[in-house]
Structures are given as structure tokens and as C-alpha cells.
Structure 1
Amino acid sequence: MEKPQFHKIHLPPFAAFLFLLQFLSVAYSLADNYFFINCGSATNANTDLRNFVADLNSSDSISSSFSFTRHSSPVSQSSGTSSTLYQTARIFRRNSSYEFDVPNNGTYFVRLHFFAFSTPTDLSTALFDVWTSGSSLLLNFTGKNSSNSPIIKEFFLPITPGKFNVYFLPRESSFAFINAIEVFPAVESFIPDQALQISPAGSNNSYKGLVSRTLQTIYRINVGGPTITPGNDTLWRRWVPDDGYFNNPETATSKFQSSNPSYQKNLYENVTEKTAPALVYKTAKWINTSGQFNITWSFNVSKSDRHLVRVHFCDIISESLNTQNFSLYFYSNFSKLINSYEYAYQFTVPFYLDFVVDSDDSGHMDISIGRLDDSAVPFLNGLEIMKILGNSGLSLSEHKKEHVFLMVGSILGGLGLIGIFVVLFFLVFRCRKLKPIETSEWSPLPGGRSSHSRMTEGTIPDMNLRLKIPFAEIQFATKNFETKLLIGKGGFGNVYRGTLRNGTEAAVKCSEPGSGQGLPEFQTEIMVLSKIRHRHLVSLIGYCDERSEMILVYEFMANGTLRDHLYASDKPPLSWKQRLEICIGAAKGLHYLHKGSAGGIIHRDVKPTNILLDKNHVAKVSDFGLSKSSPLDDTHVSTTVKGTIGYLDPEYFKSQQLTEKSDVYSFGIVLLEVLCARPAIESMLPREQVNLAEWAMLCKNKGLLEDIVDPSLKGQINPDSLRKFIETTEKCLQECSTDRPTMGDVFWDLEYALQLQQTAMPREPHEDSTIGGSAALAMPNVWQFPSMNLSIERDDLPAIMDDGPYTKVRTK
């Protein structure tokens, strides 16, 4: 019975008032751990003993998500498109997600239904990716092959209790769509944790950890029998006949057994109807020709992936209880002896075997059964082939801000309370903004720094005295500035490695006369770093202003600057994965500066020498002497130009209007340096190559960008990862600041590039159609699960692939 309706409001930070009226939604009762969603519809759809709950009521007001209804007459059931389930679709122009509250740990089925009807928009033109909270499911997916019958993509995922998200990410200027979603638990131990691993050469060992991997169903075959529709399977699976995959039909006979299999008599496996329906075990193929020793099934598979292959047996062939010994072959090399009475002492007792089969790079997998002698009668009942997907590690949930939910009994009451929260939110936020820090004139000197006189004692007002370190402690830490401890020299002055009395290792930066930096930079560094803490921002331990000194003491970064690892160094070259992780870390640090609790700060001097690496190569942004506060209620900050030549935002240079996007431009230059391992400005090169940004974009337009990639990276970079990285870099370097992404967008894009690097990319054409079917899906007798909660919320996080807001469809 449906619970009384109530209203739910979500207040995302930084955007609560702007989107206030868009988040009102109706919630429904909880549905345990079974979730079936009829996407884009205002009515439920009953099909194959499932009740797909409409999501339209809770998300119709979201601008980046809208529904389409197929206005043509209902299609016949023989076409495979249910008259209700595939008549509507939810369409996303921006990155969006469904969120499920999963109560129990275990392996879950996740099925995604796609049917590309063309009224009023041609859904077959969609191009998008689908991810979950922990792995990628579909990359560069298109619905063009689903115009005649649905594509149903099925996955097995390990899910822990809590929030589970399915993300839809449109590619470039395209869109994403979905017709229906299923999320429900598989039976316990449905996926084994280990299985025998088979190589193309015939060797084998044990493969462990299957239960923690994401699997995608590629084939589910009923050998010797007809199509089994979801309505005839307790887990709503579709099994297709083997005829299209069988190589030598004249040498085998199909057999049907009218009596049901004896599930309970299997000796080693807990085989039930949820393992495979009775119709799988009641049909089989067996070798019927004297002298024919093998029969083979061939499948197109991904060239670069491992597959879990489940082989189903049930002896409905033998006429007596004589032992049946025969062989199972993969790639005609590895063979497994099959003795049906090792698993049961009776006929019609089902069992199955699991194998992890490595690719032989051909894109084909052959599975055969064969005789050991003329008396043997080899048989096979069913096959399942599941691709083992790489775990992406995309921890979207760890980046989410903490949200505040307000649940009230009516719309008016909810809006009234929200109004109070919004007012308090902005009052508190305004009080926490930093005061603007005025800086002096910029001069085009090397490094782009202005020159100031040294300070005199007592001229720094309102400093954080808790961070003040006596000069004697500095002398002790650096052994009175011993030359052997000098580890660098920057625009501010010399940097020494030191050890404080409490054992803390530190980097001690001492200003020198004529260094190009002075009191304002020193003051700004302390004011900024005393107010912020972030994993990807260097931490200030303290400062010293005694004896006319300007000394800053930071946490020690064992691996120096990013520049040290890119060029002109004897350090080993960084791998592409390391470079991506460093860029992601730096981008997160800058994103925190721009949007974090300190009220908004623009760095103004983003470059590889200001990105430091700790002993684990974790990136931390440093050197905040030129930073400027960025009031959130201002769209521009008027200021005299400061920065470093080669990294300066051209729009900022021309207009003197500073925004957060100036840091984005500088970071785009850093990304090019990471890719190409050369400085932003190299005056000794030919004229067209002097400026890295201009040279890189020229090469890109000529299709030669890969020619200027760091030679040490050749052969390391996944082409899709490189393509995403270059696309992100080009966005950062747009001439107009409004066309550039936010730093939040940048680090999402870079994380995506990292996942593309770590995720096997090849997709075979058959993968778009093997799971979909064309048989009837509707059933007259409907077993209805309870409905689920559905609500819409918009996250304050930036989009992963575009500049739009982030949308979620949330199930409760």
C-alpha cells in the first residue's frame, strides 16, 4: 500500500536559492532491494511479472532532463517492444544520475533498457557513456542499433549497502537516454570468487577476485532449445537459441526432455531455477554422427578482455546409467574432462562449470565438446559468456559535498522552512568571505614578479600569531642556513630543507633583497594558507618576521616540483597514469581554492614549479603570494595584472579583469607541459614553436599533436584517454574566459581520462544486440513489487563532460 505522499527538497551548496523551486518532488514508498523504473513515464508499466514504476512525476521540472513519449500506435508484442515499457524515454542533455538506496550487500543485476524511437527526437543519434558509483558500464554507447528492437544491457555488480548511482554522461554535444532500469539482487554466491583460468595456449591456473569485479552479459544461450523469454525465467533473463552460433548442424541432434530437472540432487553445487530455468536443462545438443568427435560453437568477443564462461550440463541424453566421459574444449587447446556422474548419480541432474577465458586477440571464442571414444555421447545444455570489466575506481561519491535534506508534510510548509535556511546560509557565507588583498603593479620581468623593498619589524598587522616561529627555531632547523641544506631557489628566495625541534621535516623559504617579491606577497601567503586546509594544497607550518626577515615554513615535499620531473632533470620520467593523477590532484586543489570554505581565492600563478609532489607523488599546489580573494557576488575582480609570462590568461592581460577562469587558462598550459615535457616558452626554438600553446594547437589542427607528445610516453597512452585529455586542455585554453570550464569540470574530465586509460575500451558491434530480443515481454498475470521512492535533486558538483549543472534522479 502506498504511503502518504510528502515533499522533499534538496539544498545544494552555492545554488540553493537559484534552483529552489526546481527540486520539489513527490516521494513514494520504499521497495526493499528491488528497483524497476519506467523512465520518462507518468504511468507504471507491468511486464514480465515486474512493476516498472514511473519516474516522470518526480523529475518533469528539471531543465536538463526531460521525457519523450512515442506517439505512434502501440507496437505489437512480437516486435519485442512492450506496448508500455518502451513507449517513453528519459533524455538527458547534461550529466545525470539515478540514485538507489541499496539496503543489503551482495551481487546485483543491473539492466539498462534502450529503444531508440524517433518521435519527436531521433534517439538513435544519442552518444553517451554509462557509469556506476564504482565502474564504467558503457563507453561511446549509441542507440542506433535499437531502432527495431530494444537493446538490453545486463551487468553483475558488487554493491555495498548505501547509495548506488547509475550515471548517464552525454558525449560532446550529444545526449543520453534510457527507457527502463532494473536493479535487484542475484542469489547468494551467484558469481564465484574464483574459477579456473584458461589461456589460448592451453595453460591454466586459478583466477581469484571475481566477486569484486563488474561483469557484463554478452551471450546467454539455450543449447538445443527455443528462446526463453524473461517471463519464463525467475530472474527475468533472456536465453536465445544456439543455432546462429553452431558450426556443424548436420553432426548434432537437439533433444527435449519433458520431465523437469532434479535440481536438488546435484552433489556439489546449489543449483536452482535461479541458476538457469528448467527449459535450459530440458533441452540439449549431442553428437549424433558416428566418427564425428567434436562439435563447436563460435562467438564474437572483445579482443582484449577476459570472459567468465559458464557451461551448463544436464544429462537428458543417456539411456542407461553408464558413466559419460567427454571433453570440453576452449580454442581447441585446453580440454576439461566432463564426467556427469561426478556431480550426480542420476539422470536429469543439472550442474554447471565456470571458467575465466583469456582472449587470444582474434575477437573469436570457440567452445567445443568432443568424444574420448565411440561410446561416449557428449552433450551441452547451455552457455553464458560474461565480459569481465575493469574496475574504474571512479569514486564520484567521495567528491560530493555534504547535502542538507528537509522533509516536511506539505509544499507550503517545506518552502517556508527552506526560505529560512537559504537566508541563514547566505548570511553565514557572506560573513566568511576573505577581504580583497590589493597588490602592486606588474612588471614584465623574468618570472613576471613585481619588486618590493624588504619589510621592517612590526609592519605585518593581524597575522595569525599561533603560526609565528622564532628566528632561533629557524636557525636550528636549517643549521643556520647551511649550504648543504639548500634545495632550491625561487622567485621569493632560497629554499632550505630543515628539521624542527619536534622532528617535523619542513621546507624553509627565505626572502632575499631584490627577489621580486616582498611584503604583500609574504602577507598574502600567510593570510591564505592560515585559512585553508586541503590534501592538494601545500600546508603552511608557520612564518617568521623577526630581524627584518620574511620566512615561510611549509611541509616538506620530498619529490620537489612537477617541473623537476618533466624536463631538464635526471629523475625517471613519470608514467602517463602518474601524470594524470598529479594533474587531477592539482586541479582539485585549485577547485578548492575557487569554491572552498575560504570564500573563493584565485591563485594567479599556476605553473609546474608551483605544483609540488610529496614522497608518494601526491600533487599539492603551492606559492600563494600572488593570490587574490574572489568575492562570490562579483563576476569580475578588477586588478593590475600579475603572473608569469607564458601562463598569463590573454583576456586577463588585455582587460585586467581577473576571474577564476584565469587560473583555468594557466592550468591548460600546465596540461600541455605535462603532455609534451617542454616549457611554456622556449625562445631557442623556431618562431612558430616558441609558445607551447600556439604550437600545440597548430599541431592539433594539422593532426600532428601526437608528434610532440613526450617520447617517454610513446606506447603508454590509451587513445581515448589522450583524446579526452587534449579535449580538456583545449577547453581550458579558450580565448574567451566564459567558454572555459571551471576547475571542477577540469578535474572531472581528467578523472574521466584516467578511467579511460585504465578501462579496456574496444567494443565489438555484436555487443549492442546480443542481449536484446524480439520476443514478447508482456505477461497477463502480473506479480507486483512495492513501488520505490523517486525524487530529483541537483548536485552542486560540476559536470564531468560539460558546463551544465549535475542532475540526479534519486530513488528512496
Structure 2
Amino acid sequence: MGKGNRSNAYLWATLQPCFTSLYIAFLLHHVTSTVGSNSPFPYIPEDEINLDCGSSGNSTALDGRTWIGDENSIFFPVEHLQNNASLTASVVQQSSSATRVPYTTARLSLSPFSYIFSSVTAGQKLVRLYFYPATYGTFDRSKARFSVKAGPFTLLRNFNAALMADPDYDSGHDTIFREFCVNIEEGQRLNITLTPSDSNSFAFVNGIEILSMPTYLYYTPSDDQGLPFIGQEKLYQVVNGTALMMLYRINVGGSFISPAGDTGMFRSWNSDYKYLTEDLTSELPVSTIELNFSQIPPYTAPEEVYRTARTIGINRSSNKLYNLTWQLPVDSQFDYLVRLHFCEFQPEFKAVGDRRFLIFIANQTAEKAADVIRWSGGSGVPVYRDYAVSMFGLEGQKRVNLSIAISADPERYRGAILNGIEIFKVNDTYGNLAGPNPNTLPLTLPTATKSNNNRIKITAIVGGGISGIIVLLILGFLILRRAKTSWRWRRPFSFHTSKSTKTHGSLLPYLCRNFSLAEIKAATKNFDQNSIIGVGGFGDVYKGYIHVDGEATHVAIKRLKPGSQQGVQEFRTEIEILSQLRHHHLVSLIGYCNDGNEMILVYDFMPGGTLCSHLYDTDISHKTPLPWNQRLQICLGAARALNYLHIGAEHPIIHRDVKSTNILLDEKWTAKVSDFGLSKFGTTSTSKAHVSTAVKGSFGYLDPEYYRRQQLTEKSDVYSFGVVLFEVLCARPPIMHTVEHEEISLAEWALKCYRNGKLGQIVDPLLKAEIEPECLKKFGEIAVNCLHDNGTERPSMNDVVWGLELALQLQGSAEKAIFHGEQSFASKEYQDGLMSMFSEIMNPRGR
């Protein structure tokens, strides 16, 4: 099976009777570890080689498959002199996201080395290379630059795995793999050679996987004329002499499908959230329809791909203005194979013509009248369509967006549907598949040499570009430095920890002080337990006094938990964002300590504690409840801070963890928003209103739309703030497990009471005599609007500020509330843009 030129149909039709012969062949074949005849997979590869590079024995992966070590194996012949120069090594510290197999060991070399797979059968193969750019002994991860060739094809060139993996850090992926398709002719053998880029580089690999794949799964059969070539009149063929590189394999509208959930080829299918540019509730529920694979073989894609989808609905008014679009970055100057998977499973679409739609690829029309029922022959019948497209950017442009969009038929507007996407890069005329590395430089462990090099580079850049403006900036800098001699303005530095193999750096000139560990220990009495005033996910918080500009300043000192992986990123984010911002209602970051293995943040001390501590779970005999007027002012202050983050900073900032414990109070009960460890920079693009990212936040405050789609916007902060408003009004936490089921969620309970006209019944009993009815009505209206399920229906934080100011006026204390030592955001000056006066951002022009 899988040899020669059998057609897909014949292969599929004869697959089941071949189980027994395949199993015998597996037992006799010494290079395979093929799944047995009782396999649940629709496809069983004839060749399956899982090579654990750098290992000397067999290992079992999480999916139950066996990986064999490459030491003394037939695939890594030591008689080749170049192979003798290679080394094996184990990772120094393995992160939680890197699975043990195949990422524990690696083979490394300063010279070329090769793997030889002489016993694989002829036919089309999947080749996967696995890389974990960690620390291996004395090898510097930033110097791992190399090329990989498979026969005549260059799979990777000048490849830097650290550069490729680092951009994925926020989603927790510090390991990467690359998947290729190659065809092995009869009598050929498959050689994979890794070659360092230069004398200062080394090559490495953690794992190699070779799998037979069904004949012509992605290649064009010899008797097939070819597939549509977008923007061209001719057809396109992916012939046997072609190599492919898989870039995207997406389960549209569904969740991630692991290799074990594939059809026997152990492919990964990712969700599509991060690639959507606009989504008007397009995700369909998982279908339970019985699938009928009468048009394509069942190994084409997992059934789950065809049971989930995104669709444009049948709302004519919205369909006229709306394309469902995915943007997928690809390398410029290459051709691409695009496969779109379809399966019509909605009961209202059963006949040809029920749903016709348009398909656009790279902003060009691919289909003018797509009709899944016409292609497949009926409901519940999976089918796919293949297209080829050339992608060429501007001169010097490395990456371009390959867009895929579906749009309703302009005559009927009956919607459109898509279940899955696969995109492959096709080799160029030189047999090359390699694309460029990202522009940013790898972030390595800090050393004295690296630091000096950074300073030299910065000095050279400044010296080379000197102008009159720069001279003025330098003079201003020197004057300011003389005025603040005790402050050290930060140059580029790297964060580091022995607990993580990842490192992070930054090139921001921070507006905060770098404290020594000795200063921190003196302030906390060597981290005395009696100095602890709080405990959070980041670590313990201490109070103390520290000398700033010659004066003892009362501070709060937050210390990262030893071994915390998440805290490293939060530490960096907090400094990058908060050190650049100055606002009356943001907590001030005084400085940080990045000494040895310690990561510590130093803030102004907030003697009033958290807003949460004054609302509930307090001992009334020791704490006086906050009066309503004061609660309103606290809410207004926090709203102003969030509004400033969204529209007043140079780049919009989404806090992502708005809650009552992150609103602190100073000695005058002024609200200060804190804790920016989860914050994200928002988008400034008019074509994409959200940031695609893994869901993070606090239970009870989390925006349900963000949770469903993994698309973060400023409106996610608005939702969380709506929960805080009801906390303030009702004096209860967002989640309570000691009440009736319908009252567990404060957001849901408050919405129900408001809609039933019973909001007054859940108001804090200590406030009922204080709140004016019109003020309560307005306050409730603001909070309810913040909690709209659809983010587009929620107000902006600017609208929330105005509403709260009106609530204060209705309460009868507007003058005191608005002009109590701060500028009113409702004033004409605010509308004219003077809110930027509250900022001390490095770029004084703001956004």
C-alpha cells in the first residue's frame, strides 16, 4: 500500500482488507513502529520512523508512540566522519511546555552532520523536524543558525530556532516543529543534512519524524489537469518533483486537535481565533451529524474538522457589509497551495442553491458561486477544494498576509461556510523552501560581553545619526540627570532566571530606578515575614522604606516567587508598561530589582489597601464601611485610569485583569489602578479591532466574549469594570458558592435583578438610605451596559467616565466629586485632548 501511482479512491477502497498484510509487513520491517491492525485510524503509514535525537534508548511519547534514540542507530552512521564530530546533550532546564519526548535531548554540531534513511519505501512522505532552542551545556542558543537539506531541496536556510520560537512565548510555545512533504522515487534514499551557517554557529535537532502519506494526498495525480491558479488563466500542478512546507492547518470554528486526534498521520490542527480579522458570532455549535465520506477518503482530515465551522448567517443587512476573513502571514516570493475544507451540516441547507457564496484568496476571487451541496452531493458529506496562489510583496518585504475570505451571495445573502484551512509553501525554481528569519534579534542570557556589545551598538547608532535635535535631547538628559543624581536611567538589559530556559530583553529607556538586592533586603529587613502585607499569584508583597532622592519613601515591594514561570513574563510586562506611564489614578512604579535570581517590583505604598477589602469580608467593628459618595469617586477614578490606558497613552493598553483587588487606595482614598502583569498593547489598526491571544484574567470578571473567541479588545476591560461596579453597589464578591445557584455569579444575578426591576433589593444594606433614586438608576444603567454579552454593544471607558460623573451630579455632590484636587474629564479641555497632560510617556506626542 502507498507505492507507485495508485489512485486515492483505490487506496481508500482497499485499505480495510489490507490491514492484515500491513500488520505482517510492520512486524518484518525493522525501521518502522507502525500502529497495529486494531488501529482506530483510517490510515496506517507504511513507513513510520520517530527518531529521538541525542538519545541512546527508546522512549514513549505522551501519545503512546515509541521514539528510538539516534545513537548507534542505522539512521545515523558513525562511519561518516562528519557525524563523529557531533555531540549529544540534554537540556539544562526543561520548561513545562516542552514535552519530555523528543525535547529532552538533542544532537548538536559545529560542522555538518547527516541522517540517512536508506530503507524507506518509495512514495510521498511527511518529514517533521523538532526543535527546542534551550540551553545545552555551553552552547549559546542565539548561535544556533544552520541550514537543513533533504536531497535536492533546501528545507531551512540560516535558520535560527530561537528567533522563531520566541515570538510564541505569550502562548506558551517555546518548542517548534517544521513539517514538509517530499516524494521519494524508486531506488532513491532520503538524506537529511544539517549544516551550521558559519564558523561561529552550530546546528542542532531534537527529533525527526518520517511518515508515509497517502499517494496524492497533497500532490496532483498524473492524470489530473491541475488546480485553479488564482489570478492566472492556467492551471497549477503540484508534481512529484515538488517539495512542500506546511504553514497552517486550521480547524475553523473548532478547538485544537492534537496529533493523536488526527487520522493516522499525526498532524496537528490549530484553532482559528488568532487569524480572524472580524467575527460577528460566526462559530457554529459542534454537529452530531453522521458523516458520509463518499467524495473524499476519511483520512483527509479528522471528523472533528467537518463537524465544526464558521458561517456567515442569513441576516441580509449585516451580510451586505461583512466578509468572514482570516489573515495568515506567509513568506513573500513563493507559490502556495491552499486547501479549504467544507461540510454542509446545518439542517436548513439541504439542496443545491440553498447556500451559494463567494470565496476570496489573497484579495482575488477564487469562487463566484461556491455551493457545498453541489460539490459534495448532500448534507453531511465532507469535501475539499484546492487552489494555488503566488504571493509577492514589495521589494524587500519579507512577509505578506495571505487572506482567505468568504462572503454571502450578493443576490440572496444566504450566508457562507468554511470548516478547515491548510496552507503549504511550494519550493521555488531552485528547490528552496527556506524563508527569512524574523527581524528582531534573539534575546540571550546577559553577560558582561553582551552588555558591552549592546552599549557599543547603541553608541554607534547615536553617533552615526547625530543631529541638532539629538544634541538638544542629550543636553536635556544631562540636566535632568544632574537634578536626580541618585537615579540610574536604564539602558538596554535582559531579564534572566535560572529557573527558565527562556530569556527576555527590552530596549526601552525605563522611567524607573534599578535597585540593588542589598537595598531591597535593607527595606524589607531581609524579607522578614512580619513585613508581608499581601500574597498574590506573582508572589509576596512586603512593606518597607527605601531611600529615593535622599529621602526615606514608604513603598510596597512585590517579590517574584522562586521558580515561577508565568511571573517572568509578568515582571517584564509590568515594567515595560507601567514605567512609561504617569497618571493620577495609576499606581506609580518606583523601580525594580533584577539581581541574581531575584525579580522584584517597587511601588508607592497605598495605605488604604484594596477596594475589595473595604467592600466585604471585613470586620465592621474595625473598619467603617465606605459611604456611597466615596464609592462613586473611587469608581470614577478607576474609570479615568482605564480610559487613559485605552485612549490617552501612546499605544492603547488593555489591562486584562480589572478587579477590585487591583484598585488600590491612597491615604486620601484616591483610586489607583495596579497590577499590569497581564496587560497587552491593543491594536491601532483600523482593519483589525482585536488582539488574538490566550485567555487570561480572573474568574468572575472575565469577558465571556473574550473567553469564547480569544480575541482581546478594550471592551474586555469594560466588562470587568462592570462587574466591579456591581461589587461596589452590592458589597459582595463576583463569585459566591454559599448562595442559591442563580445568585452564584454576581454579573448574572445583577443583570437579572435589573431587568426585573429589583436592583434596589441587592444594594448593600448599609447604603440604601444614602443613594438617591436617580443616581441608582443611572449607576445601574452604566453597570448593565458594561456587561453586554456582545462587546460592540458595550460603552467605551470614556462613556463610562461621563456616566459616572453624571451619577455623581445626580447624587448631589458633583462639585466636590469632580473638582476634589483633579481635572474633570467632562471638561472642554479633556475633549480637546489635554488628557495627555497626565502622562509622562517617553514620546510626549501621545498617540
The TM-score by the shorter chain falls in which range? 0.3 to 0.5
TM-score by length of 1: 0.42
